[in-house]
A and B are shown apart, each in its own frame.
Chain A
């Protein structure tokens, strides 16, 4: 072997090669600096009808606007104005114990009523008139993450929220299969020989980069996940399975800061009542089991769960016993050490609506993000949340 070839091979064979350059730059960031605080994001995809979730049960406007859709029976009253949808019963104890904060009227100026655009706005923390290519959690991990497994999404595909300029989280709905696949010696050899200074600048570079990251992350997740399965009883559905996996990772002490889970089907333009009740049940039952699981393993204290949906729905019901796309909506924050638990702020007026007949927002969703970043993750929101946002005091 000639000298040049030897140098080339030894450089490539070194384990450093598994770590792309941009990641190496952050190796000085010690794990301790990341802290142990974890964030679990739950996305209710499709636009959950917030008004039938946290119900203004003393409000005539609500009942008049929804003659066939308003909920009047079995409401779980939280205060004199608002109550849980009956399906949220499993969350009652969290509310009573001060471990759940309900933030009402969350939205942004000039709301967009397209699912995709509004979801992108929530994912990127942009304004409704700007288009960002990176997600807020991705930007957080651009700065403070080291490895793709610092952010795990329990799905087959990675959300925009988890994509940064340089950082991409891991999306997997079965980490065992991912590990076994990545172990093929052929792939290891290909990675060892591949050489490109311009990683990720073009599509092929992106493919290689993803392959390299997948291989090292799959190994880490597989080897580190020692708590094999939980004793806690989770319901039988895909969303519960996602949370069960998250609990496994958290309880095994994975160096993962952000988890992303998602429950879809909330786009209830027609025959909403049964659909939403079923979905909210899935949500509440699964979250309740998840919290119990974390509590049993003493990991609850360092976990914060944020639940959002891309928009709320119109106050007035439509002709098909459903609701159309709306604007401001409620957000749930669940955790042990909340500063302001319970109903964080009162519901906006149901008679003073915007020109589309939708709730007006009073809290910008980006101020929730900024608050979580500063007060929970202990980092500055600057460079992560593009606009200046005031801090809230739910944590």
Chain B
């Protein structure tokens, strides 16, 4: 593989490659891809300290409203911990591809849950199935406490069915809008009646609430269970096409290529094995086509994690990391709605583009983007001094480990540093301008590159 191909693969299957990765991976494509999957075989669940729930029972919460309030408050605080722990995991993953897939599925099986115990459990279910059997994945999602709450599945009872989950199951999770009738929704909602969960978030099937009568769904009639409905949905080739399209747009190119998607759907439809599908994508020649390199706009999380991969950084105040996610328009565990974030161009508008351009200098360099080498310009000197003095007034307190950066990139030339930081080509006019800045400091050069529109691409 060429260095460019490795950068591309590592941006899509992860959050960018560092010099160490590139140096050790100049091998055959099959070997590199195999390694990627091998490294993600295991599952390291994300578990934060939830001891505040020790000894808490449903009865105690019911009897002591004050305790219930306290627990609720604590849970929200812990949810923030889960958010930052997740990002920390993305920066230091044990199973890189699995983590990238988990992030993808979190914006597919979209769910928002305020009870941290359920939220963490849900997050680990995504992680568990991230490269596994899609059929089992959908069934597991349908039984998750967080999902039963989020889409009102627990309110879905024989006497009064609630259609919310049944609708989104088909519209967003498996088939896409318009691939079913309103009647299919009504009938399948009945099949999911009786689904519920216990206090700890374990699935509980309440047989008395379940509608045992015949249901007619996609032209078939029977006393279908929720799992039966999922089986019937996945018999539709459209499901494989729908998921393949989403994977293609996320991992390959936001502009769908129907021929490639069709080929993916053929692979996926056989047994709905996610690992096989991803392996097919990463081994395909078209994946490495130059039209697919650097064409995707990074999500805010890809942007932040990618930056931390290049320059190790520590947030002195965890709240800052949440603030940054909010500014960029993506707070993990808090999607805008069940359709999730729209991605790509939708990340960028007048507000977010300026935030993204300014953020690297604010986070890593006292808000300074150097204009000239050893700038003798008095104005710039004063500005630098001013910014240094007012460091405390910066919105974030972040420790950037520039020493680590400099030693990591010690043997990397200026030109090669560009290929590590920017995917795809830099606009000619902009490249000429950067050239005139003639910066010999790798640190200043890195900040300059990160402050470009090109840095938003991967």
Please list the residues of chain A having a beta carbon within 8 angstroms of any beta carbon in chain B: 12, 112-117, 148, 156-158, 168, 170-173, 178, 181-182, 184-187, 189-190, 192-196, 202-204, 206-208, 210-211, 213-215, 217-218, 269-270, 318-320, 322, 324-325, 355-356
Contacts and interface: CB of A to CB of B under 8 A. Distances in A.
Contact of A117 (B159, B177, B353, B357): B177
A-B residue pairs, 9 tightest by C-beta? A319-B160, A214-B350, A195-B429, A193-B433, A207-B453, A320-B155, A186-B369, A158-B349, A193-B429
Contact of B355 (A168, A181, A217): A181
Contacts of B424: 204
Interface of B: 152, 155, 157, 159-160, 162-164, 167, 171, 177, 182, 254, 295-297, 326-327, 329, 337-339, 344-346, 348-355, 357-358, 369, 371, 424, 427-430, 432-433, 448, 451-454, 456-457
B358 A181 contact: yes
B457 A204 contact: yes
A171 B433 contact: no
Nearest to A189: B433
Contacts of B167: 113-114, 325
28 contacts: A112-B177, A114-B171, A117-B177, A156-B326, A156-B351, A156-B352, A158-B350, A170-B350, A170-B351, A171-B349, A181-B355, A184-B369, A190-B433, A192-B433, A193-B430, A195-B427, A195-B429, A204-B427, A207-B353, A210-B348, A210-B350, A211-B357, A214-B353, A270-B152, A318-B155, A318-B162, A319-B160, A319-B162
Nearest to B339: A116
Given A186-B371, A193-B430, A172 B351 contact: yes
A12 B430 CA distance: 12
Given A189-B371, A195-B428, A208 B453 contact: yes
B242 to A, nearest CB: 15
Given A170-B351, A215-B354, 19 more contacts: A12-B429, A115-B338, A157-B349, A157-B352, A181-B358, A184-B357, A186-B369, A203-B457, A204-B457, A207-B297, A207-B348, A269-B155, A319-B155, A319-B159, A320-B155, A320-B162, A324-B162, A325-B163, A355-B182
A172 B351 CA distance: 6
Contacts of A178: 350-351, 354
A77 B454 CA distance: 59
- Residue with the greatest number of chain B CB neighbours at <10 A, chosen from A189, A204, A324: A204
- Residue with the greatest number of chain B CB neighbours at <10 A, chosen from A148, A170, A185, A190: A190
A355 B254 CA distance: 38
A270 B148 CA distance: 13
Given A117-B177, A207-B453, A320-B155, A148 B296 contact: no
A126 to B, nearest CB: 13
Contacts, number: 143
Contact of B349 (A115, A186, A192, A210): A210
Nearest to B254: A203
A49 to B, nearest CB: 15
Given A157-B346, A208-B453, A193 B432 contact: yes
Nearest to B209: A319
A203 B345 contact: yes
Contacts of A204: 424, 427, 453-454, 457
A312 to B, nearest CB: 16
A180 to B, nearest CB: 9
A211 B152 CA distance: 41
A322 B369 CA distance: 53
Contacts of A325: 163-164, 167
Nearest to A158: B349
B337 A115 contact: yes
Contacts of A320: 152, 155, 162
A115 B163 CA distance: 13
A202 B106 CA distance: 27
A203 B344 contact: yes
Nearest to B158: A319
A81 B354 CA distance: 52
B160 A217 contact: no
B176 to A, nearest CB: 10
A318 B171 CA distance: 21
Contacts of B326: 156
A4 to B, nearest CB: 13
Contact of B350 (A112, A113, A213): A213
A213 B354 CA distance: 11
A349 to B, nearest CB: 20
B429 A206 contact: no
B158 to A, nearest CB: 10
B170 to A, nearest CB: 10
A217 B177 CA distance: 37
Contact of A156 (B163, B295, B329, B339): B329
Given A269-B152, A319-B155, A194 B351 contact: no
A114 B177 contact: yes
A389 B199 CA distance: 54
B206 to A, nearest CB: 13
Given A214-B351, A319-B160, A115 B254 contact: no
A324 B164 CA distance: 8
A269 B350 contact: no
Contacts of A114: 167, 171, 177
A206 to B, nearest CB: 6
- Residue with the greatest number of chain A CB neighbours at <10 A, chosen from B352, B353, B427, B448: B353
A158 B351 CA distance: 9
A269 B430 contact: no
Given A186-B369, A207-B453, A269-B164, A171 B182 contact: no
A356 B329 CA distance: 36
A264 B162 CA distance: 21
Contacts of A194: 427, 429-430
Contact of B339 (A115, A148, A168, A217): A115
Given A189-B371, A319-B159, A356-B182, A157 B329 contact: yes
A154 B439 CA distance: 39
A256 to B, nearest CB: 13
Nearest to A217: B350
A192 B453 CA distance: 14
A269 B345 contact: no
